[in-house]
A and B are shown apart, each in its own frame.
Chain A
Amino acid sequence: MPKRVSLFVTCVVDQLFPRAGMAMADVLERLGYQLDFPEAQTCCGQPAFNSGFWDQAREVAAHFLDVFEDAECIVVPSGSCTAMITHHFAGIMEADPALLARARRIESRVYEFSRFLTEVAGVEDVGARFPHTVTYHDSCHALRELKIKSGPRQLLSAVSGLTLKEMDAAEECCGFGGTFSVKFDEVSGAMARTKIESIHRTGAEYVVSIDSSCLMQLQGALSRAGSPVRALHLSEVLASR
């Protein structure tokens, strides 16, 4: 088991949701990990990759490799950024064998936060307390690319005082989709509204996810609808006491 963990907090958490990143750091430190935050980190390249700009995505991905090459274990508070590194770096680096080899070497050392907790640290109960009703949103890339489904639910269920209520459309997309959210704003907005109807049907006070970009979409739509429901990153729930 690694003692030392490097954080890749993602650009979205760094710039918009630092609380989720700090909460992740709190949880990991309480579990006894030494944390390292390589300051040169920025983004994984996903926005460019998903928009078809693979040259630019490759440049940014190469920067990520430069920064994290020597890290023993990298923990990321995002399913889709993790999947970008572990599932898509190789695809855009095929024409550059040296870069490809570096990408291949890093894949097995990158963990989405909840997966790190359940599968590497081997914990379910992190000692959190959160006396609220919560519903869990499966973010698409975590669910379908990383196959993360039960881990976050186990972590939530172990939180003292927390009631987990499943929504009927837990696996349905929130409608974010990166640049899709602005290129097809009306469709994206309609998808978000369908999703929040499902969230509301549970009666939960919070919707929790492991991806800040989904949470941005959901909180944006909840806030626009005047809903009292709040969107929270899993780390924020697990850091509560």
Chain B
Amino acid sequence: MNPIPEQKIHDTLANANLQLAIYDATARLMHKRRTALDNPLAADFEAWREQANRIKRHTIENLDHYLEQLEQNLVHNGGKVIWARDATEAADFILKLAKDNNALRLVKSKSMTTEEIDLNERLEHHRLDVVETDLGEYILQLAHQRPYHIVAPALHMTRYQVADIFTERLGVAREVVIEKQTMIARAKLREKFLTADIGITGANFLIADSGAVVVVENEGNARLSSSAPRIQIAVAGLEKLIPRAQDLAIFLKILGRSATGQPLTVYTSFLAGPRRAGEIDGPEQFYLVLVDNGRTRVLADRDKRQALYCIRCGACLNHCPVYRKIGGHNYPWVYSGPIGAILSPLFHGVTEDPWLPSASSLCGACGEVCPVKIEIPKILLELRNDVVKAKQREGSGKLERWAFRIWAFFMRHPKLYEMAGMAAPAILPEASGGAWIQSVALPLRIGPLARWLSQRDLPPPAARSFRQQWRERRRQA
């Protein structure tokens, strides 16, 4: 049971530049989404969400069927499906493939699933040259950092920080103009693309009825990663499935708008197997690595399996007031924000980071914007209940448990409740003047009271409660 990373959270909150960077970047993304949804073209957005939710629910409820169909069609297209139970199996396959084909260099486009299974570290450990080709991911790879956001991985970095990283790691002259930084990265990456043996992409969607992998992006690097090298691998979580090609349109419409406010992302690539006879380009070999890594565990949880509907648009992060304060690196896993707060405990069990589902004010903004209508706040509440039950089984968390038991006892006994209320002014003599309380005497400066007062003033307990005033009012009447 890991404790709340209070120090790290404190440091993030105390870093004014970082706070501004997170707040502004998320505000921009929120604004872009809003503008896209206000466009008459998106008048049916609510209906799209409803439909997307229905399609995902149907797919997840019938996952075995569609997985089989996907494999059949993908094999028919000349590709191969590799079933990876966990990170090691996925990495082992790629390592062996690289070895069998004397491959040394791999280019990668952005993929949260490969982040999830620490693919880069595992491959680099075996002296393979793995290069991230998405600009944000490339910057993070140079800086040895994890993505800060599932859509905008380097959201927290300013161009000045990027300039420092480029100078230090690439040995180029310091350059703070974003367009020029892009040119530097492009020149470096071009050469990698042309000399890579293997290209790795993620997948936004897997289409069962056509055996195709769909990748959406804005930079064109996924398209290059999947076309230049002779061997191509797509790594995807098994929940990325959709049944039919005709289902795709709705997801493309909601994904771009929710993520970046684009009606459609710039590139939508369909990867459907290796080069066929008579075709002039395309890879020689094509593999789809289907990663479980805990997904079947989530699938077994009837109430919460809807977490697998997620299309990784990032809207819930942008709209989350907690993410906007603590940023992406204080969450225990690669998935941050509201979706991270439910995926981490669902994949790893609630006892690893029992605080995580509680790190939310339950404002509900995430559920309101989620394009596939995942009931994130409801799942957070259920997870909190799971944490309480797990702690009870383990015999930990006694203090809070007893506090709520006693509290409930008082709440069921109105007379006791009223007496406890009347005791408050006596315990808090500071309240006598009726002004808001800034601090309390030392012996009281503990626990929740101290934590409340660390940030804001405390209301004075009313001299007479509502019920007392009400009785008087009735007597007078």
Contact = CB atoms under 8 A, between A and B. Distances in A.
Interface of A: 9, 11, 13-19, 21-22, 25, 37, 39-43, 45, 47-54, 56-57, 59-60, 63, 140-141, 143-145, 171-173, 175-192, 194, 216-217, 219-221, 223-224
Contact of A60 (B10, B400, B411): B411
Contact of A42 (B4, B386, B412): B412
B421 A173 contact: no
A-side interface mostly: helix
B456 A173 contact: no
B408 A60 contact: yes
A13 B417 contact: no
B455 interface: yes
A220 B404 contact: no
27 contacts: A14-B465, A14-B466, A18-B469, A25-B473, A42-B411, A42-B412, A43-B411, A47-B407, A50-B384, A53-B401, A63-B412, A144-B363, A173-B361, A173-B365, A177-B360, A178-B362, A179-B358, A179-B448, A180-B360, A183-B4, A183-B451, A184-B9, A185-B455, A186-B13, A187-B326, A189-B454, A190-B13
> Most chain-A CB neighbours within 10 Å: which of B361, B438, B448?
B361
A144 B411 contact: no
B238 to A, nearest CB: 29
Nearest to B463: A18
Contact of B404 (A11, A51, A173): A51
B13 A54 contact: no
Contacts of A140: 361-365
A186 B454 contact: yes
Interface string B16-52: 0000000100000000000000000000000000000
A56 B405 contact: yes
B408 A56 contact: yes
A72 to B, nearest CB: 19
Contact of A185 (B411, B454, B470): B454
Contacts of A191: 321-322, 325, 361
Contacts of B273: none
A188 B361 contact: yes
B407 A48 contact: yes
Contacts of A47: 404, 407
Contact of B421 (A14, A60, A175, A181): A14
Interface in B315-343: 321-322, 325-326
A48 B459 contact: no
B101 interface: no
B13 A144 contact: no
A180 B388 contact: no
B148 to A, nearest CB: 17
A145 B375 CA distance: 12
Contacts of B13: 186-187, 190
A17 B381 contact: no
Given A144-B367, A187-B325, 8 more contacts: A37-B470, A42-B411, A49-B381, A50-B381, A51-B400, A52-B387, A181-B361, A185-B454
A22 B466 contact: yes
A173 B470 CA distance: 32
Contacts of A53: 385, 388, 401, 404, 408
A219 B436 contact: yes
A224 B438 contact: yes
B404 A15 contact: no
B361 A56 contact: no
Contacts of B448: 179, 182
B464 interface: yes
A216 B365 contact: no
Interface string B364-405: 110110000000000001011111100000000000110011
Contacts of B447: 182
Contacts of A186: 6, 9-10, 13, 454-455
Nearest to A172: B321
A132 to B, nearest CB: 20
Interface string B148-181: 0000000000000000000000000000000000
A82 B367 CA distance: 19
B457 interface: yes
Smallest CB-CB A-B distances: 4 pairs: A189-B455, A177-B361, A220-B456, A52-B384
A50 B362 contact: yes
A17 B434 CA distance: 12
B421 A18 contact: no
A143 B367 CA distance: 13
Nearest to B384: A52
Contacts of B264: none
Interface string B82-125: 00000000000000000000000000000000000000000000
